[in-house]
Amino acid sequence: MVVFPHCKINLGLNVLSSRADGYHNIETCFYPVALTDILEIIPSPQFSFTQSGLVIPGAAEENLCVKAYRLLKKSFDIGYVKIHLHKVIPTGGGLGGGSSNGAFTLQLLNRIFALKLSEPEINNWASQIGSDCTFFTQAKARIGKGRGEELHPTPVSLKNYFLVLVIPPVHVSTAEAYAGIALTKPKNTIEEILEMPMSRWKDRLINDFEKSVFTKYPVIGALKEKMYSLGATYASMSGSGASVYGIFEKPIELKDELTGLFYWSGELK
């Protein structure tokens, strides 16, 4: 079986408080984006994991596809599989590609081995793999709270808007991004801001990581400003970076403007 794990952008990201478990309570809106990896899983006499496409740092056993398989195998009598992941979504860009791979692996294994796991059960397993894995089991815009695993419906729709996504050759670790955060209480919730016209989002819908990340990596902040100068209605860094996106009211091709950077554009759904 072959599936296409998609990525996400964050519409706003407020870091609200520290938690006793070492994580942080956040508030964000996860929005699905049609940039995808390719994941194939088939039954096999022995377990194997292979990959192609973009290089994925770290040992194979640390890959979330492998972790998802190992997690289910501890509790269910599932057989061996061959997993092949063709990586298109860059790692470490704040797009959640790894989390998506893990979530889609759980869903595929559920189908292959007829485990008959319900959506809440799949979500429970997904939350054990990563904070935002649960979002990728649903493929709909969701408000994320807690560590990001507490998901709530939202009416926000970006249908008929167009996204430009760019990633500079800079790696921002999640730990590094959180280390630069100054916890403050936002004036408005993200849900309240998303009810406003997008033309009012610019100075209201904030990613709390931007301030410290832009200071350390000015190229990321410059890309955000570039998006606005080229006509974006709204632009932001996604997650803890380093990806930057712009939302436009009409199709726009900026490859020549952003030569040498990872670039993707497409219509939002």
pLDDT at 162: 97
Per annotation, catalytic residue among 8, 67, 87, 226: 8
Tokens of 92: 């470490």
pLDDT at 219: 94
Which single residue is written with the structure tokens 């939202």? 154
pLDDT at 13: 96
pLDDT at 102: 97
Domains located in the chain, CATH noted? 2-153 (3.30.230.10), 162-267 (3.30.70.890)
> SS3 letters for 82-131?
EEEEEECCCCCCCCCHHHHHHHHHHHHHHHHCCCCCCHHHHHHHHHHHCC
Q: What is the pLDDT along the chain (269 residues), one digit of tens a residue?
A: 999 999 999 999 999 988 888 778 999 999 999 999 999 999 999 999 999 999 998 899 999 999 999 999 999 999 999 999 999 999 988 999 999 999 999 999 999 999 999 999 999 999 999 888 999 998 899 999 998 889 999 999 999 999 999 999 888 877 788 887 878 788 899 999 999 999 999 999 999 999 999 999 999 999 999 999 999 999 999 998 899 999 999 998 887 778 778 999 999 99
Side-by-side strand order, sheet with 162-167: 234-237, 244-248, 162-167, 262-267
Active site residue 37: no
Name the nearest CA neighbour of 33 among 140, 144, 127. Answer: 140
CA 152 to chain centre: 16
DSSP per residue, the chain: -EE--EEEEEEEEEEEEE-TTS-EEEEEEEEEEEEE-EEEEEE-SS-EEEEEES---S-GGGSHHHHHHHHHHHHS----EEEEEEE-SPTTSSS-HHHHHHHHHHHHHHHHTT----HHHHHHHHHHH-TTGGGGGT-S-EEEETTTTEEEE-----TT-EEEEEE-S----HHHHHHT------SS-HHHHHTS-GGG-TTTS-BTTHHHHHHH-HHHHHHHHHHHHTT-SEEEE-TTSS-EEEEESS----TTTTTTSEEEEEE--
Per annotation, catalytic residue among 67, 87, 132, 208: 132
Active site residue 250: no
pLDDT at 177: 80
Give the orientation angle of helix 119-129 with respect to helix 97-112, to 10 degrees. 140
pLDDT at 19: 83
pLDDT at 22: 75
